[in-house]
Structure 1
Amino acid sequence: MWIIELESKKGIRYSCRERFTDPATGKKFILAVTINSNSRQAQRTGRQMLLEKYNKRISREKDKQKRKEELLFSAVCDEWIKATAPTVKVETQDNHRMYCKRILRALSPGLLFQDFTPAIAEKIITEMYYTERLSYSYCAATLIVIKMIMRYAKKAGYISDVYDFEAIRIKRRPATPAELEKATNKFLNHDELQNVLHQLRVLNQRVALAMEFISLTGLRCGEMLALRWQDTDLEKRQCNINGTIVKIIKNGDEIQRGTPKNVYSYRTIDLNSRAISILQWFKADNKRLELWKKGNCISRTYHDRGYIFTTRTGAPYNIQYINRILRKVTVPGKKISTHIFRHTHISMLAEMNVPLKAIMQRVGHNDPNTTLQIYTHVTDSMKQELKNKLEKISI
């Protein structure tokens, strides 16, 4: 032990210091305590204080090491979800839980965190992508979640290095004919769109008009459902996109409306005559429902919340409910969901040779590749136009 004299406003004091060795790691470290005098008795007290401080530190380290040895990987997932919850949207929290469940499903029950290795993580992703043939985007998102969990674990002191986890990559496999066909079937041609809308009118006229509105505007379904009358200007033929419906919130809740997907999703778009007609139809029909309910003393359930595309109670439609109706619609080779109408709008703009940048701004994309996935899948009419032009080539 050595002693250093310290001078402060309170007078002269003494710092007793000693170098110790961590029995678990073998690393050296220094501890210090302060005493009021440099007498032999004070030095003995200082020595005792240093020893107590050392024992407490070693005890804490042992407890910490024991916890690390007993810590389950599932517990770290839960910690990470709770730690990120205040910084992300409700839907993102739900996605985090979904990806964690998928990862845990591939692990042995009760797997310790210290036994979760980069090799295990890579095996999970490899089997998902190459064996189960899940989509590249889904597997890549799952891998990102694994890396985020490990980064959190490093900050929490559960692991010292995450380099090998960060180095994991997915190499795209060659697309199968079925996958290529699926990629080209993300939109409807004119005849298919007419067929789908006809089937929907039989099932639910309000949903049919809502899906037609998406095909005319390119809105995401959540953005369309979040539209309020205050967001529209029928004279200027425009609507302002500034919100979305949170999927996991119960239908009818007052906090059902959330912020758009990202900063690029805030936009004002122009409307054509048919889109204006659909808005006017909903304005009239919503008013009819409101007046009818007021006159019906037995069932007064309609409540005007300011939304446009609503159920008969005045609440925005639940997206899952819409998709259940869409699953009843059949078109050979096409999976009908709310998003196919958005893709259809993009394909129609591409067919009209609208510049890529203009399409991106209209539909709220910030990544050109997202738009190009639809933009580059030319429609039948564009193929025919190219065929006709090729006939005119002469040397």
Structure 2
Amino acid sequence: MAHIHRRGDKWSYVVNIAKDPVTKKRKQITKSGFRTKKEAQLAAYKIESEIADGSNLTPSKITFEQFANEWLTYYKKRVKISSVRARTAPLNLLVSTWGTMPIAEITKSMYQSRIDELNEVYSFSYIDSIHTTGNMIFKHAIRQDLLQFTPTSGFVKPKSNLSVDDIEDLKILDKFLELNELELFLDVAKKDGLYLDYLMFVTLAYTGMRIGELLVLKWSDINFDRNTISITKTLYNPSNKRFEYELLTPKTKKSIRTILIDPSLMSLLKKHQSEQLEMQMNHRTLFKDQNFIFAEETGYPRYFRKVGDRLKRFMKKTNVAKHITPHGFRHTHTSLLIEAGADIKGIQERLGHGDINTTMNIYAHMTKNVEEKTSHKFSELTKGLL
């Protein structure tokens, strides 16, 4: 509510607006010199209306760095620690650019130019992460009435600066193993693998689970009567230190799922359960039982780097010229489902996948493979008829 008062033979108004984010003091807009009380009231009402619809914001003195840190505190209370970690590095990059500048002075042109500059240094996917972070910060500034519009509005993403080698690496064929390649890989893992190796990669290939979901599977997640596995959590261990890990909820709500498992895999898991109990007895002073299926001799879950190292070792022995990551077994499972005749919707639900772009790419490739095989079979069958 505006305060209207008289100063000599003139009238004035005082309109209270939001607190300054830096000083935490309430700010005011004051104007005098009106001939009548009515004129002052109308002018004050106009200012109040402009403030209400955001068209009369007072530029804030808060710097980009101050507000970015304020946003990060707000963000931490609403997301998983892994999401905070993903945003911190991009945030620091933006702070290094505009740290001491008032956030209200950052323009669309400045934002576009800076992201274009960063595009010359960083990967296309990382540029996307930087922009996502910047967009979140500026939109929060609008919600806090610090800005009328975000400088990210109208932003045009730079083109990807992929080299020929990068493009080769992104080929869909390099994202998964064909059936014969998987057979070769698993044969090597079975013959040369150490404890857990073979079972781990078989489970990845037969379930399509994310590696983080697999590493924290517990025996309570297995239903041997129904041949199902329930996926309800994922591993967070960025330091790759055995004892420093957290269990987080899965990537999305769709990631929480129960999937049917091949009976042959269930047999391997039953065998492993017996072997684990024996190992637990042999290492009773060291083993901390936490019910993990893929537990090391200590009882703690295997960490990410060790899985990657074992994978690289086995891939070298197969002589398959592909750069497959643990996530590649998820794509491998997708390709096997497609070849077996599964539909896209069923695959999406089994994988707990929200974004199915990669699934669609693999689907297109595998469909072409199936069509070629079908055509070849037809040609063989009808050979000599014409």
Contact in 1 for aligned 2:59/2:146 (Cα 8 Å)? no
Inter-partner Cα distance in structure 2 for 1:177 and 1:158: 44
Deviations 1:148-188 (A, max 9, x none): 111122334543321x4122132665977642652311101
| Deviation per residue, 1:242-289 (Å, 9 max, x gap) | 111123385445x72221111111111111123213312321221111
Larger radius of gyration: 1
Contact 2:228 2:261 (8 Å CA) reproduced: yes
Distance between the aligned counterparts of 2:362 and 2:235, measured in 1?
24
> d(CA) in 2 for partners of 1:371 and 1:175?
22
Question: 1:232 maps to what in 2?
Answer: 222
Q: Which residue of 2 aligns with 1:223?
A: 213
Change (3 A) 1:111 1:126: same
Structure 2 vs 1, CA of residues 382 and 288 (structure 1 numbering), >3 Å: closer, same or farther? Answer: same
Where in structure 2 are the equivalents of 1:150-299 lying within 5 Å?
150-162=138-150, 164-170=151-157, 178=165, 179=167, 182-184=170-172, 185-201=174-190, 202=192, 204-248=194-238, 251-252=242-243, 256-294=246-284
Deviation for aligned residue 1:220: 0.9
Report the alpha carbon displacement of residue 373 of structure 1 after superposing the two structures with TM. 3.0
* Cα RMSD (Å): 3.6
Return the match for 2:344 from 345, 356, 360.
356
SS for the counterpart of 1:377 is helix
- Which residue number in structure 2 is paired with residue 382 of structure 1? 370
| Code of the aligned partner of 2:255 | S
Distance 2:377 2:122 in 1: 40
> 2:73 maps to which residue?
82
The offset of 1:199, in angstroms, is 4.6
What is the match of residue 307 of structure 2?
322
Helix, strand or coil: the match of 2:182?
Answer: helix
Contact 1:227 1:307 in 2 (8 A): yes
Q: State the Cα distance separating 1:225 from its structure 2 match.
A: 1.6
Supply the distance in 2 between the matched residues of 1:256 and 1:326 (Cα, whole angstroms).
23
TM-score of the pair, normalised by structure 1: 0.72
Match of 2:123 in 1: 134
**Counterpart of 1:243 in structure 2: which amino acid?**
K
Query: Cα deviations across residues 70-119 of structure 1 (Å, max 9, x unaligned)?
Result: x2x333332221111010011111111132234456x3776664554322
In structure 2, do the counterparts of structure 1 residues 278 and 104 end up closer, same or farther at CA, with 3 Å as the change threshold?
A: farther
Instruction: Give the SS at the match of 2:305.
Output: helix
Helix, strand or coil: the match of 1:301? coil
Structure 1 residue matching 2:293: 3-state secondary structure: coil
Gaps of 5+ in 1: 5-16, 31-63, 295-299
User: Deviation at 1:215?
Assistant: 0.4
Paired residues of 1:266 and 1:364 also in contact (CA < 8 A) = yes
For the residues of structure 1 that align with 2:338 and 2:246, how far apart are their CA atoms?
34
Distance 1:382 1:172, change over 3 A: farther
Give, in angstroms, the shift of residue 133 of structure 1: 7.0
Matching residue's letter, 2:362: I
1:296-341, CA deviations, whole angstroms, 9 ceiling, x for partnerless residues?
Answer: xxxx211111111111111111123322333444355422321011
The answer to whether the Cα contact below 8 Å between 1:189 and 1:379 also exists between their aligned partners in 2 is no
The CA distance in 2 between the partners of 1:339 and 1:91, in whole Å, is 17
Q: Distance in 1 between matches of 2:82 and 2:234?
A: 11
Q: 2:13 aligned to 11, 19, 22, which one?
A: 19
Report if aligned partners of 1:121, 1:146 keep a CA contact under 8 Å in 2.
no
The amino acid that maps onto 1:225 is L
Q: Secondary structure at the residue paired with 2:258?
A: strand
Between 1:94-103 and 1:243-252, the stretch displaced more is 243-252
SS at match of 1:378: helix
**Unaligned runs of at least 5 residues, structure 2:** 17-26, 33-57
The 5 Å alignment of 1:72-151 reads: 73-104=64-95, 107=97, 113=103, 116-129=106-119, 131-132=120-121, 134-135=123-124, 137-151=125-139
Matched, 1:310 2:295: yes
Amino acid at match of 2:373: E
Most deviating of 184-193 and 362-371: 362-371
Gap change, CA 1:233 and 1:26, over 3 Å in 2? closer
Partner SS for 2:327: helix
Identity of aligned residues (%): 22
Q: 1:3 and 1:177 mapped to 2: Cα distance?
A: 73
Q: Which residue does the alignment assign to 1:49?
A: none
Aligned length in residues: 335
Are the counterparts in 1 of residues 65 and 98 from structure 2 also a CA contact under 8 Å? no
